[in-house]
Amino acid sequence: MSELIGWLGPAWLMVKAAHVIIVIFWIAGLFMLPRYLAYQAETEPGAAEDLHWRQRTRRIRRIILDPAMLLAWLLGLALAFNHGFAGAYWLHAKLLLVLLLSIYQLWIVSVAGRMQCGIRPLSSRALRIANEVPGIATIAIVILAVVRPF
Ligand code: HEM
């Protein structure tokens, strides 16, 4: 339990619990947004249903995705400096995957932004395929964080 003597001291486990809770919200938002965009892509640009989906996707981004990604990084980096990076290859691999997941979020949010203007950059089918990415990433990230295979 060397983490207990890190800079977080006795707060370590509470910070880790907060990290896992926030990460659950983040991934939930990453599951919802591409799915909502897949439904929006099936509507006529400017139609009432399209305007409803624009409002819903704006809310997911503002209320869930942006704050959860920021907090997941803040709590995660606090844990990483508490744990130490030296020799923690599982953490290096995890940080790479989480960075790619963050870039995925920036990309899907940019797609949502264009769909807010009535553009349809991707088909509903392509968005459903894109919806699989957060799930696959989550499986790999959680195995790295819990099993620490290297
Ligand atoms: C955003 C950047 C992230 C950073 C910097 C980060 C960093 C860390 C660190 C250093 C730990 C180990 C804490 C310790 O035991 O002292 C940890 C634990 C954990 N992380 Fe993250 N993490 C991030 C994102 C994520 C994401 C996206 C997921 C899931 C999809 C995740 C899932 C977990 C889980 C489940 C644990 C607990 C593992 C255990 O103790 O058994 N983390 N994280």
pLDDT digits (tens, 9 = 90+) for 91-115: 999 999 999 999 999 999 999 999 9
Q: Give the type of residue at 47.
A: A
So where are the chain's domains? 2-147
Q: Tokens 């940080």 label which residue?
A: 95
Cα separation of 150 and 143, whole Å? Answer: 11
Both structure tokens of 66: 């942006």
Residue nearest to atom 21 of ligand 1 (CA): 76
Q: Is the CB of 22 under 6 A from ligand 1?
A: no
Q: pLDDT digit string (tens) for 19-70?
A: 999 999 999 999 999 999 999 999 999 999 999 999 999 999 999 999 999 9
Residue 122 CA, chain-centre distance (Å), reads 20
Both structure tokens of 43: 């509507």
Residue nearest to atom 25 of ligand 1 (CA): 23
Host H or E run for residue 106: helix 89-116
Q: pLDDT digit string (tens) for 70-79?
A: 999 999 999 9
Nearest to 128 by CA among 67, 7, 3, 42: 42
